[in-house]
Structure 1
Amino acid sequence: MTERDGGVRGGRRTPGDVEGHDDEHPADPAAVDLFGLGSAAVIWSLGIFALTYVVVAVGAGWEIRSWVSWVGAAAGLAAFGVAAAFVVGGRGARTPAPVAVAVTGLVVGALALSLWSLPVETYRTLQTSPPVSALTVVATMLALHRRPVFAWVGAVCASVVAGVWGVAQGFGYPAGAEITFFCFPVLVMATLFVLMAPPMEVRIRALREREIAQAQTEAAARAGAAERHDQLRRLDRGARPILQRMVDRHAFGPDEVIDARLTEAQLRDGIRARAWESEEVRSAAWQARRRGVTVLLLDDGALDARGDTETARRLRRLLVAELRAARDGQITARVLPPGREVIASVVVNSSTGVSRTECRFDGAVCVFPGTLS
């Protein structure tokens, strides 16, 4: 047994190659980022917010002269940035619980660090706006990533921390806690969006599946129409002149009779052997039949089910080579039914012997000389 036409065992395809990766399947809610929080627009928006954070913090704290305060403020901003990166960088639409815990701790710690870095003697209300706004942004993204409980826990803890800071600074607990209160209306809206998300996903997925099904139906209709058009064109080009001469009571000569039979055989090939259909195969089969070779092409659908165009091209090249080399006898090329180890075979029975060429499911092309089909 030898291998030919490259003789390689390649092109192995697994069900995963055809169906796609399971972790990207749209039916998995965790794989659908409904709000697009990992998009480039969100990342750019976060970058613009960080720049605004710095500008407002520097402008509001222009009178602060303690480098310790500025280092603390910078560390708080960095902690907010890490928390936002954890949320945005998570795969899918639901932040893992350990990451949500870490983000909650980071935002509360970042707010505490930012507040306690503000000197009381130069304090202005505007100085608390950047860290509280950052807390609101990160908590909202965490809620939209299907972790609203963690977002609310973080917001409540941040209010407690702000209240304790107010007491420590001499402002009182209510005055300290109220700087975080505008975070809660935003969280309410984010939570409502999260509660509405599952029904929205179901509807979006149903619409997507309907759109895909409609596109497939339209594509199949176009393919069928194109196939009918091609068959009619071949019929018009090959059979119409013969039929017209028959209508005109033309007396056919020997060569014309041969051409008519070759035309009939070629039209049959286009109907019952679509997998072998190509200009090279048609031309080689026509010439082989003119030399007296019997050519039988059959297609039982294995290549259509496989969807492997490279294997189909290899088989056509192999068949063309056999057709061009044949001088007598019979060539039978068959694409077998789906589900078999062998997907196609070419049997050559001539005066020099009998050979059988097989293409197996794993892509190997093998020749068995001296065997019968």
Structure 2
Amino acid sequence: MIYRALFHPLTLVAIAVFFLIPVVLGVLLTPAMDKPDLMQAALVTYVLAVALVVYPYRQRRLPQLPTMTAVLLMLVSIQRSFDALDPRAELFGGQWFTLGFDGFLVVLGIRRRGGWGWATLAIAVAVSMTWGARSGLGLWEAALSNSASVALLLASQLIAREYDRSSAAFAEAREMVISARTHDEAEKDTVSASTQRVQQVRRLAGGLLERIAHDPSPVTDYDIEQFRLTEAQLRDSIRGRSVSTPYLLEVARAARARGVQVDILDERGEPLPTAVLRSATRQAMEVLNAATSGSVTIRAFPEGDPTAVFIVHDGNTEDEEPVAIEIAAGTGEVSRF
């Protein structure tokens, strides 16, 4: 968020205006320069140097090559500016680039190139002192004219440090919010799953539980059989969760009532795709409805296996051939063996 604020279009426009002010001053001063051609070269290299450091690269830290190139161009611009001046001119009056140079150093500091900023400043001070020695200004007074640049570069590095600290705090806070949301969603999912489970148990066994709790009459063989069938249904809903639709549970209950052994197993642990579940349910119901004896096994294979569901019916009689049905993962295509 902070990075986007720094490189917001309005911010870039403000930066462009800031760095264009020295260009306007330089253009206005060019006719009065002792060597206008050198001044023109200084303006061109200045614009290129600024463009390289303010360009919104993907990362906040300036890449190495553009940084080196920009520093070299800025130093060339400063040198050409001093060369274009009449040695008798006042230094402050001829420093058209002062505002832009200070901004250049600030950008280097903020964009994590403070070392290059200090190197640029040191060389610029040396150039100023050289010009001061050749002019009537004096060596040390020329050097002191860059004192504000030192403070600005130092301040920019402090700003960059605070920026990094704020960014780290913001990222940490964002991770905490995401973690809290994930935890809340997980809790909601757990509560939802628990609620669904309670409702399923109530739907399957609610009547029998009421019978046990409130009916004082003796338990009959029919009641015991219903208890057994209901217990098997509950077991199917747990062990074969991904394939145990309400329709399949009822058909499996009816098959057990006819004496068929039914096993519904889930090795997948994840819901089946709709097309696969629909195909598996239809095939399993056909097998269970047709079975009068023997055993039926319905097994969901782990995710990633080419077979999603495998259905086997062994009638345990010579007159009835075993049936094996394979439901393909992804497509729900049916293969019989």
- TM-score normalised over the length of structure 2: 0.68
Q: What CA distance in whole angstroms lies between the structure 1 residues aligned with 2:222 and 2:70?
A: 86
Q: Any idea what the Cα deviations from partners look like across 1:175-222, whole Å, max 9, x if unmatched? A: 444443323223324445667888888877776666665554444333
What is the aligned partner in structure 2 of residue 18 from structure 1? none
CA contact (8 A) 1:132 1:180 kept: no
In the TM superposition, what are the counterparts of 1:85-124 in structure 2 within 5 Å?
85=55, 88-91=56-59, 94-112=61-79, 124=93
Q: Does 1:283 find its partner at 2:247? A: yes
State which drifts further: 104-113 or 243-252.
243-252
Whichever of the two has the greater Rg, that structure is: 2
Match of 2:323 among 334, 345, 354: 354
Change (3 A) 1:288 1:56: same
Match of 2:280 among 316, 319, 322: 319
CA contact (8 A) 1:111 1:135 kept: no
CA contact (8 A) 1:275 1:303 kept: yes
The gaps in structure 1 that reach 5 residues or longer are 1-34
In the TM superposition, what are the counterparts of 1:142-161 in structure 2 within 5 Å?
142=111, 145=112, 147-161=113-127
Q: Does 1:130 find its partner at 2:99? A: yes
SS in 2 for 1:89: coil
Q: What CA distance in whole angstroms lies between the structure 2 residues aligned with 1:221 and 1:201?
A: 30
How far has the Cα of 1:89 moved from its partner?
Answer: 0.9
RMSD value over aligned CA atoms?
Answer: 4.7
Q: What CA distance in whole angstroms lies between the structure 1 residues aligned with 2:123 and 2:242?
A: 68
What is the aligned partner in structure 2 of residue 241 from structure 1? 207
CA contact (8 A) 2:78 2:124 kept: yes
Number of residues of Structure 1 aligned to a counterpart in Structure 2: 316
Query: Higher relative contact order by CA 8 Å / sep ≥ 6: 1 or 2?
Result: 1
Q: What CA distance in whole angstroms lies between the structure 2 residues aligned with 1:346 and 1:176?
A: 89
Q: What CA distance in whole angstroms lies between the structure 2 residues aligned with 1:193 and 1:95?
A: 16
Change (3 A) 1:198 1:76: closer
How far has the Cα of 1:64 moved from its partner?
Answer: 4.8
SS in 1 for 2:97: helix
What is the aligned partner in structure 2 of residue 82 from structure 1? 52
- TM-score normalised over the length of structure 1: 0.62
- AA aligned opposite 1:282: P
Q: What CA distance in whole angstroms lies between the structure 2 residues aligned with 1:117 and 1:141?
A: 31
CA contact (8 A) 2:301 2:308 kept: yes
Q: What CA distance in whole angstroms lies between the structure 1 residues aligned with 2:132 and 2:12?
A: 29
Q: What CA distance in whole angstroms lies between the structure 1 residues aligned with 2:68 and 2:26?
A: 31
Q: Does 1:47 find its partner at 2:47? A: no
The gaps in structure 2 that reach 5 residues or longer are 315-319
Matched-pair identity in %: 18
How far has the Cα of 1:80 moved from its partner?
Answer: 0.8
How far has the Cα of 1:48 moved from its partner?
Answer: 1.0
